[in-house]
Amino acid sequence: MRLSRSLSITSLSGLPLWEEESLPVQDLLLFEVSWEVTNKVGGIYTVIQTKAKITVDEWGENYIMMGPYYEHNFKTQVEKCEPPNQAIKAAMDSLNNNGCQVHFGRWLIEGSPYVILFDIGAAAWNLDRWKGDLWNACSIGLPYHDREANDSLIFGSLVAWFFKELTDQLQDKPNVIAHFHEWQAGTGLVLSRSRKIPLATVFTTHATLLGRYLCAGNADFYNNLDKFNIDQEAGERQIYHRYCLERAAVHCAHVFTTVSQITAVEANHMLHRQPDVVTPNGLNVRKFSAMHEFQNLHSMNKAKIQEFVRGHFYGHLDFNLEKTLFFFIAGRYEFSNKGADLFLESLSRLNYLLRVHKSDVTVVVFFIMPAKTNNFNVESLKGQAVRKQLWDTAQSVKEKFGKRLYESLLRGEIPDMSKILDRDDFTIMKRAIYATQRHTFPPVTTHNMLDDSTDPILSNIRRIGLFNGRNDRVKIVFHPEFLSSTSPLLPMDYEEFVRGCHLGVFPSYYEPWGYTPGECTVMGIPSVTTNLSGFGCFMEEHVSDPSEYGIYIVDRRFRSADESCNQLTQFLFSFCQQSRRQRIIQRNRTERLSDLLDWRYLGRFYMHARHLALSRSFPGKFKMDHLNLTQGFRYPRPASVPPSPSASLHSTPHHSDEEDDDTYDEEEEAEKDRQNIKAPFTLGNGTQMLPEVTAQVRKPQESLNPERVKMC
């Protein structure tokens, strides 16, 4: 049967949608296999969790996720139930009757998808036998000491065993699609293909294993992609067997996908196969009925951050909080990969520029990266206690003042302000002021660091000399722990914190996608990213002038480190020059781009990958009209007042918040953008997927060749 497509007339805020005309979902089963199903380890958890709803909407009960079983996760996240499909139940019973433990239920997230979870520990007695099976299938051996690789083999063997039992039960109806994420799940794909189990398979790599290791080792990665001796590099890092598993899964899959164009180029060199489809990562975007709602949330959460700053900088609070900007960087503590090194150097230069220009703007920068600590430090906790004590003192004096003022007015008298407060009141206030005196700088970090002397962030702060001094216009707060609303120090969830900040800065060197700037975008917060991140490449392709929409893209691919640092510094300095009104305009524009990152739009690339896999694995049953995905889908440059200062227009660092009052209309500009957006897709017979990533349409039997799997 033919899987045809057409472009829809309807739109998602101007973005054309696909209509699926004849996909026989009722005759298919879709399984998504990942180590992070109900098991939060990294960014893949966010991908599969947020994508669940649109997939369930499309597939209903024919969509099942598969992952490892952990008792705590199962009890807190999964509602146990019986499988609705008798073939699935029979396959699970077969594994359970043979000494394995398989669990079924609904994952309690949006969409409530079904999950099948395999107990790794209960099946570990089979490890040696399954190592032999893997060696016989593709000549890959696993060392006994690599616990993660051994667990992935047990998991993959259970998955392949399940699929064998399931397809034997189904007898080719319905057909099965299996989508595997990353090398930990890829073993199941390799074993399924070597055993010729009738599946349509998709494999997605979110970051190549060797690429992550090379970048973490400060290699000049992107300028030497074609020069690395892949086998030697993997061997020196003692990950050759993992690399072999990843590459075997890539070459066994009917369809291979990556999450961005920059990762597609990397995969072509590291794994020697060009991706067939690029599947960008999305989010579930919730639009507010009133446009000003997200601006109100920014104001409310900014006030919470200001309260923390009042306590943290007590005794040194000689800067105006109304003219203070909050920047932040967040994510895994990968100092170079995440660009924290470049960010710190640019902050030193920004501090110099703000002081030279005698700017009245202060920048407080938060580093939200988990590191080894033993608790909050005393000085940070004391700051919040002092702030609370001052608040209580002010409240008690205010009540007494208000009562006396009220009584005086009742008597028809204008009170003598010098007598309305007595000596005791002044004594209390003086004591409160003396309590705020501080003879040391406000702490740079909020916790006691276990590796204080060797910590990369603290070492670089010492090098650049940003110690939160009075003359510094850039202040730094290193919070080496993920945010929580139950924290006694900064009681905010991550989403609340992001909404309260002015700018997210993520100048990553290695970032296959980049959820942090994406999350900023859907919340209407401008962000800095790079052209080495998947998110940055995606925005460069789809937005004519990203900086006008609050997406600042640092060039880290074709410039030296010093040039990239200067560019980042200029972005930050220009942002500091914006007036309040310009920042509001820019946040409106940033939030408007959120539709680009909505799974309702980006989910189509996953649909395309599944359809392509069906047409390759069951060519006699499924045929597909290939789409020619072309460049040319561009958000236009906004026509109204630019939000960023321009030297040709303004000669001073600041200009009036009230200027250009009549030149900007958010609704009118948004409507013009919707009308000017170009359609992202055109129908055609080509097989080109994306620029730099040309799909290689393979015959189904090519991927079955066992010689392509023998890596070691």
Is residue 456's pLDDT more than 50?
yes
Residue 495 and residue 238: Cα distance in Å, rounded? 38
Q: Which residue has the higher pLDDT, 479 or 667?
A: 479
- The reported pLDDT for the residue numbered 698 is 36
C-alpha of 605 from chain center = 18
Structural domain boundaries, residue 424: 386-441
A 10 A CB-CB count for 256 gives 28
178 strand-pairing partners: 31, 201
Residue 230 in domain: yes
Which CATH number belongs to the domain containing residue 115 in this structure? 3.40.50.2000
- The reported pLDDT for the residue numbered 687 is 37
Residue 172 and residue 639: Cα distance in Å, rounded? 56
Last residue of a domain, one of 278, 298, 316: 278
CA distances from 660 to 377, 582, 638, 670 (A): 47, 10, 15, 18
DSSP letter, residue 635: B
A 10 A CB-CB count for 691 gives 14
Residue 689 in domain: no
The answer to whether the beta carbons of residues 475 and 446 sit under 8 Å apart is no
Of the ranges 222-231, 358-367, 672-681, the best mean pLDDT one: 358-367
Mean pLDDT of 672-678: 67
pLDDT tens-digit series, residues 413-450? 888 777 777 788 888 888 878 877 888 899 999 999 99
pTM for this predicted structure: 0.86
401, 266: one domain = no
Q: What is the mean pLDDT of the chain?
A: 86
Instruction: Name residue, tokens 């039992």.
Output: 165
85, 224: one domain = yes
- The reported pLDDT for the residue numbered 626 is 57
260, 404: one domain = no
Residue 409 and residue 395: Cα distance in Å, rounded? 21
Is residue 238's pLDDT more than 90?
yes
274, 390: one domain = no
53, 198: one domain = yes
Mean pLDDT of 151-169: 96
Q: Which of 213, 215, 278 is nearest to 243 (CA)?
A: 213
268, 131: one domain = yes
Last residue of a domain, one of 233, 255, 278: 278
Residue 688 in domain: no
Residue 360 in domain: no
Give the least confident one: 52-66, 397-411, 483-497.
397-411
- The reported pLDDT for the residue numbered 423 is 80
Is residue 568's pLDDT more than 70?
yes
Half-sphere exposure of 7 (CA within 13 A, CB side): 15
67, 189: one domain = yes
Would you list the DSSP string of 269-301? HHTS---SEE----B-----SSTTHHHHHHHHH
pLDDT tens-digit series, residues 579-594? 999 999 999 999 999 9
pLDDT tens-digit series, residues 46-73? 999 999 999 999 999 999 999 999 999 9
pLDDT tens-digit series, residues 73-111? 999 999 999 999 999 999 999 999 999 999 999 999 999
Last residue of a domain, one of 441, 467, 486: 441
Name the percent of the chain lying above pLDDT 90.
68
pLDDT tens-digit series, residues 502-531? 999 999 999 999 999 999 999 999 999 999
- The reported pLDDT for the residue numbered 678 is 54
Is residue 623's pLDDT more than 50?
yes
Residue 249 in domain: yes
Residue 312 and residue 30: Cα distance in Å, rounded? 51
H/E run at residue 494: helix 494-500
Q: Which amino acid is at 338?
A: K
Residue 253 and residue 264: Cα distance in Å, rounded? 16
CA distances from 148 to 99, 137, 212, 464 (A): 22, 20, 17, 39
- The reported pLDDT for the residue numbered 397 is 84
246, 390: one domain = no
H/E run at residue 449: strand 447-449
Vertex 390: Cα angle to 386 and 395 (nearest 5): 150
Mean pLDDT of 8-27: 54
- The number of distinct structural domains making up the chain is 2
324 strand-pairing partners: 362
Residue 665 in domain: no
Residue 151 in domain: yes
Please measure the distance between the N-terminal and C-terminal CA atoms of the chain and give it in whole angstroms: 40
The answer to whether the beta carbons of residues 504 and 550 sit under 8 Å apart is no
Instruction: Sort residue 85 into left (φ over 0), alpha (ψ -120 to 50) or beta.
Output: beta
Name the percent of the chain lying above pLDDT 70.
86
Residue 240 in domain: yes
